[in-house]
Copies of this chain bind each other. A is one copy, B any other.
Amino acid sequence: MADQGKGVTALGYALLGQISIASRSGYALRMVFETTPMGTYSSSPGSIYPALKSLCAKGLARTVGQGRGGRYEITTAGTELLDRWLRQPVTAEEVARRLDLALLRFAFLMAHPDRGLTHAFLRSFETATAARAAELKGFLETETGAAMPLQARLAVEHGQRSLETSARWAADSLRRLTAEQGE
């Protein structure tokens, strides 16, 4: 019966994640996108307000109060959906097409009561990025010189090196989070 998160977009999850930490007004949510690097996930009021309405229509969020003090808060169904989303492991496919979505999950895992999830995420993130980097490397090795001029190789190498950096980031982050917990 639970509609499996059908149609919740990156922006939808970005909003849901925010209000799961603390209820906020639409304007306050907008400001987060405009003043922090989370801005990658949205732009203008024309996308945020409709997205909030859509979350309400799906029963994942609700409004409390109105006018000046109106805020959005997450519902039980919203919490459950967010939880299922946060538990998804990172796949090589996701890394190839939607790395931003994976990073978004990481950011919100910060507030999740199950601290083990962050560790699981980072492990699967490291595996998936390394795997995708290897795929690109394999592609470069298969395609021989003539079929692939230097400049095309360089373009693919950008992706490869970028993903290797991501994998290292995951390993480093895991260490730092573990160190913090142990203190």
Contact = CB atoms under 8 A, between A and B. Distances in A.
Contacts of A177: 150-151, 154
A53 interface: no
B109 A159 contact: no
Complex copy number for this chain: 2
B154 A37 contact: no
A176 B158 contact: no
Contact residue range for chain A? 35 or more
Contact of A110 (B107, B110, B149): B149
A146 to B, nearest CB: 14
Given A165-B165, A177-B150, A177-B151, A159 B110 contact: no
B107 A152 contact: yes
Interface of A: 36-37, 39-40, 96-97, 103, 106-107, 109-110, 118, 136, 139, 149-152, 154-159, 161-162, 164-166, 168-169, 173, 176-177, 180
